[in-house]
Amino acid sequence: MQDALVIAGREFGSRLFLGTGKFPSNAALEAAIVSSGTEMVTVALRRIDVTAEEDILDPVDPGKVLLLTNTSGADDAEEAVRLARLARSGGYPTWIKLEITPEPRYLLPDGVETLKAAEILCREGFTVLPYVNADPVLCKRLEEVGCATVMPLGSWIGSNQGLRTKAALEIIIEQSFVPVVVDAGIGAPSQAAEAMEMGAGAVLVNTAIGTAGDPAAMADAFRMAVVAGRQAFRSGLPGVGRAAEASSPLTGFLN
Amino acid sequence: MPDHSAAADFLATDLTGALALASTATDADVDRALRASRRSLADLGALLSPVAAGRLEEMAALAHAATVRRFGRMVRLFAPLYLSNECVSTCTYCGFSSGNEIARRTLSPAEVAVEARTLTGRGFRHLLLVAGEHARIVSKDYLVECVGALAADVPSVSLETQVWDTATYRRLVEAGCEGLVVYQEVYDRDTYASLHLKGKKRNYDWRLAAPDRAAEAGMRSLSLGALLGLEPDWRSDVLALAAHASALLRRWWRCEVAVSVPRMRPAAGDFEPVRPVTDREYVQILCALRLALPDVGITLSTRESPAFRDAAFKLGVTQMSAGSQTEPGGYAEPGGAEPQFEVSDTRSPAEVAAALRAAGYDPVWKDTIGARVSDADPAQSRH
């Protein structure tokens, strides 16, 4: 069955996006990109150094995957916009993962600044994929200013705690006209499958793969989980029974 | 001490219970600290205790796992760039101390740029400018000029000099300075007074509140440190350092905070450490700090030997210096001035990077978007 993910008019064959932090080497990153089957890879502008002998961009083949630069490290809208413009002037794709995380401990996103930056960048023609808290109203506001997706967190970055925000994610998925990419906190393939079963458009995974004992094998495990979760969603999951079924009908006396 | 500062918060922190645990913790206290999902300063006390020393392998496993989860298998590399060894302060343990008869030198901003080019040629993108305390020779204007001279070519410039007021820190941020490193050296006031005999550094409170002033001025990263070996009771020093770091994290929630606990090395002046910290104790300190402060950076210096660094960096370390020269001008032309201390790990940056790779770690040379800048002119930006 035809089931491509479409973001801003571009088709993606894989619903698993990969972050590039925390990998032990470029070789490990390259192997994980291949075995994940991903077609979208996000790289922090703060890590790119084209003057270096070896750069984090080396394993990213632009013929095979879309490079999604991100504004990690930006404290406010002004800094994020500055970084995005630099990325464009540096010749990178104009797809930007908007990350404004002024608090470096949990890297939680600042919704106020994110909306401000998204408005500016969408107006300037960027394809904007914002990382946000699982806030349904903020997600609608971002959609209205022209963001190509919304990327709410499952739990905070690097925590591997899974879908702590599930109730809010369900509302976001229900209300969104743009793909919902669950980003951050997904620590195991089962959690990725859970997000896909809920109807997420895609998931973005980094820590769980980058810090695994065998990142390439873990990337493959996530690939399968995302495919399985998506197929389950498309196949119509039976609902979970919420109450015991009485052996004698409780309303039988009405007949 | 200004209200609403981390320094004031730190001074108001009651460490009595944590200090008691650091000497008298039982196995049950250590168990509780090891199992906790969020650890308090009391837990840190327990982890620093003599009883916890018997649980080092457990602590190391937890510290390693916490570091990999939070930071990945990577270590950021940086180099200190010594601007000047002129100093008017008398600090009994430091090679630059004003009483020491040593060859003194101050680099011109042009010479600083030459040193920086040598270092960027070796791969570095994070430089730490270091200088002795001499307000006339190593003046505010001089430092602003030095930072400005590097801004275009060095993505990340931090500063470790005498401490300044907020207005000066603001000028430094505007020139391109991203972070401040301040060693309180020792947190006990009496010990502090006995070591810092002359000069501005005698003012404990002014130094303690320097990170607050830097944060207020817009510095992105704040690094604290205690120099181990100055204080007979290293446990109390490490606890105080952690309490200060915790106060900064809470008060200046936008800043990255890092800590460093170098051990004393031989230097001019022949100061003998009062109480040298053993390797086992040092590992316990690194692990305990990582477990108590899971989000802070931990720096490991070239004061440590190659063998020790190659083994211990996995236990919580996030950044390391490499190929360090502690004399002004020592990179481009070594041998022209007295170093601050003897380096123990004399390997080149490439050798240190190779050792990290061999251990399955990524040596990270660049990880920054640069100093906070207020305008959006791309010509000014230094990502």
Residues contacting A181, CB < 8 A, separation 6+: A17, A129, A149, A150, A151, A200, A201, A202, A203, A204
Contact B370, B156 (CB under 8 A): yes
Beta bridge partners of B90: B198
pLDDT computed for residue B376 by the predictor: 41
Contact B311, B343 (CB under 8 A): no
Touching B: A residues 70-129, CB under 8 Å: 73-75, 78-79, 81-83, 85-86, 89, 102-106
A19 touches chain B (CB under 8 A): no
**B382 pLDDT tier (thresholds 50, 70, 90):** very low
pLDDT computed for residue A243 by the predictor: 59
Query: Strand (E) positions, A123-166?
Result: 127-132, 151-152
Residues of A in contact with B362 (CB under 8 A): 23-26
Which of B1, B3, B64, B10 is CA-nearest to residue B222?
B10
Q: What is the mean pLDDT of chain B?
A: 91
Residues of B in contact with A105 (CB under 8 A): 249, 253, 295
- The whole-angstrom separation of Cα A78 and Cα B242 is 33
Residues of B in contact with A89 (CB under 8 A): 378
Sign of dihedral through CA atoms B148, B150, B155, B161?
negative
- The whole-angstrom separation of Cα B73 and Cα A24 is 5
pLDDT computed for residue B380 by the predictor: 41
The count of residues in chain A is 255
Beta carbons of B381 and A46 less than 8 Å apart: no
Mutate to test the interface with A, among B69, B369, B381 (most CBs of A within 10 A): B369
pLDDT tens-place string over residues B214-260:
999 999 999 999 999 888 899 999 999 999 999 999 999 999 999 99
Say whether pLDDT at B379 is over 80.
Answer: no
Residues of A in contact with B374 (CB under 8 A): 78
Beta carbons of A26 and B362 less than 8 Å apart: yes
Is A97 designated active site? yes
| Partner-chain residue, chosen from B73, B374, B378, that has the shortest CB–CB distance to A211 | B73
Contact B151, B174 (CB under 8 A): no
Residues of A in contact with B70 (CB under 8 A): 158
pLDDT computed for residue B130 by the predictor: 95
Sign of dihedral through CA atoms B15, B19, B21, B24?
negative
| B87-107 average pLDDT score | 82
Domain ranges in chain B?
Answer: 6-364
- The whole-angstrom separation of Cα A178 and Cα A165 is 19
pLDDT computed for residue A169 by the predictor: 96
Read off the tokens for B307.
């063998």
**B333 pLDDT tier (thresholds 50, 70, 90):** confident
- Inter-CA distances, A84 with A59, A128, B46, B255, Å: 21, 10, 46, 22
Could you tell me the fold of the domain covering B6-364? TIM Barrel (3.20.20)
Residues contacting B268, CB < 8 A, separation 6+: B95, B97, B100, B102, B338
- The whole-angstrom separation of Cα A159 and Cα A163 is 11
Q: Looking at CA atoms only, how far is residue B208 from chain A in angstroms?
A: 22
pLDDT tens-place string over residues B116-156:
999 999 999 999 999 988 888 889 999 999 999 998 899 99
Positions of chain A with pLDDT lower than 50, given as ranges: none
Which of B199, B194, B268 is CA-nearest to residue B231?
B194
Which of B289, B306, B297 is CA-nearest to residue B367?
B297
The count of residues in chain B is 383
Domains of chain A: 22-235 (3.20.20.70)
Which of A155, A219, A160 is CA-nearest to residue A182?
A155
Which of A125, A118, A120 is CA-nearest to residue A149?
A118
| Partner-chain residue, chosen from B72, B123, B125, that has the shortest CB–CB distance to A23 | B72
State pTM to two decimals.
0.87
- The whole-angstrom separation of Cα B65 and Cα B61 is 6
| B322-338 average pLDDT score | 85
Residues contacting B200, CB < 8 A, separation 6+: B89, B133, B135, B162, B163, B206
Look at A34-43, A65-74, B296-305, B326-335 and tell me which has the smallest mean pLDDT: B326-335
pLDDT computed for residue A246 by the predictor: 66
* Active-site residue (options: A97, A116, A140, A166): A97
| Partner-chain residue, chosen from B73, B74, B383, that has the shortest CB–CB distance to A83 | B383
DSSP secondary structure string, B268-318? TT-PPPSSPPPHHHHHHHHHHHHHH-TTSEEEE-TTS-HHHHHHHGGGT--
